[in-house]
Structure 1
């Protein structure tokens, strides 16, 4: 049986200054921005190999606002979701987009849209980001979040790991060729009934080139260090991400 979700179509980031954020994310991703309408409003998007980064202006707190999943059979999903306890917000949905009620998705803002073909793209520079590696959700109760992602939304759980040294329980759910990561802190637990978006980890084919290019463009970037995943190196982007904790990941 095929899964309801086949990809992460887009990540939506709310920003207070769309012009400034567009310039910053063009420099961060190494990609050109496109002005595209989104849900009746203006937005700017950056199309990467495996997902779209979309910026929308908001007067609220900046940061990651929504994950939009690609669905091969939206009509089937429309019938299934209410049967597994997930409400669709009819007034915010249409034939090609299903907005899900956050009260039924542990307070995180999720949506489904029709799956689309992705195209391979030539990177404009050696350090340009090649795609998204994982989107992170912070959870107050990993078991309930797992039931949402794996049981009701049918994402494939690949790993459930508790590590006292990291002060965290980490769960990884495959979504196309990237990961939805659930992070549950151990010593300072969140409220068990609510989750929240945390951050994004971007892929690069050449982390040294990415680090050099971002530094030249004026970003505050940490030193490259060994990643938690075997065979990886990472660095943290510490500014100009408009409320989104941001990691860059490359392979050794």
Structure 2
């Protein structure tokens, strides 16, 4: 049913400041946009878009995941069959009711990926694509059922590791992963989930680290990642409410 992740929508306190910071991270200017009547700014990458928007409510951070589907009418029929109601069906967008989506905002849109211009980092020193979009869950089984059985994302991994104090579940979405993170020692409330963070790809992790340092970001040292052959660093500030990891594969 879902072909790929069209975009990640992030609500921010100050759109101008957030746009300037993410332009440095992507090495690209992006384009002005509009989301539900709110001013926004969109950055394109090789596999999805990041859409910054004036926040709704008190907290900045990830607001929604927008999934592209090849057949909107078919998606509506599928959602009805699996007992998921929608809040809206207008302008080609379908918003799933939060109470049927673990209190998360999931939106479906028509897949027009191949007609859309990709805005890439000209120098290759910035973020080039999304690797993981992470959801924190207090009930991994229920969230897995939603993503896999009902929304038909392909489950690729279900791993509990006490050394990481976590259960991790990976669901393939296009060429990236929607990850469900369930902490073990400090469990979250089981009745609802929340968006947790983003892991971005860099073509050259060392050049990306140097570029972020040059632009004054507070970042960690490059370290070995959990994925074999990968190295990562954490971006500690100017991500506007989104825990952020940058990943490169040697």
Bin for the TM-score computed over the shorter chain: over 0.9
Equivalent residue, structure 2, for 1:201:
199
Equivalent positions of 1:111-190 (< 5 A) are 111-118=107-114, 123-190=121-188
How many residue pairs match? The answer is: 247
More strand by share: 2
Give yes or no for the alignment of 1:29 onto 2:26. yes
Give yes or no for the alignment of 1:65 onto 2:66. no
Tell me which moved more, 138-147 or 123-132: 123-132
Tell me which moved more, 132-141 or 115-124: 115-124
Which sections of structure 1, spanning at least 5 residues, go unmatched?
A: none
**Partner Cα separation in structure 2 for residue 209 and residue 75 of structure 1:** 44
Equivalent residue, structure 1, for 2:46:
49
Give yes or no for the alignment of 1:103 onto 2:99. yes
Q: Secondary structure, in 3 states, of the residue corresponding to 1:9?
A: strand
| 1:200-234 C-alpha deviation (Å, 9 max, x unpaired) | 00001100000000010010110000000111000
Tell me which moved more, 33-42 or 53-62: 33-42
**Partner Cα separation in structure 2 for residue 168 and residue 246 of structure 1:** 18
**Partner Cα separation in structure 1 for residue 120 and residue 171 of structure 2:** 28
**Partner Cα separation in structure 2 for residue 122 and residue 79 of structure 1:** 36
Equivalent residue, structure 1, for 2:83:
85
CA drift at 1:80: 1.6
**Partner Cα separation in structure 2 for residue 95 and residue 18 of structure 1:** 24
TM-score, length-normalised on structure 1? 0.95
CA drift at 1:33: 2.1
| 1:11-53 C-alpha deviation (Å, 9 max, x unpaired) | 0000010111110111112121210122232211001110010
| Compared CA separation, residues 210 and 18, structure 1 to 2 (3 A) | same
Q: CA RMSD in A?
A: 1.2
Equivalent residue, structure 2, for 1:7:
4
**Partner Cα separation in structure 2 for residue 123 and residue 18 of structure 1:** 21
Equivalent residue, structure 2, for 1:213:
211
**Partner Cα separation in structure 1 for residue 34 and residue 73 of structure 2:** 23
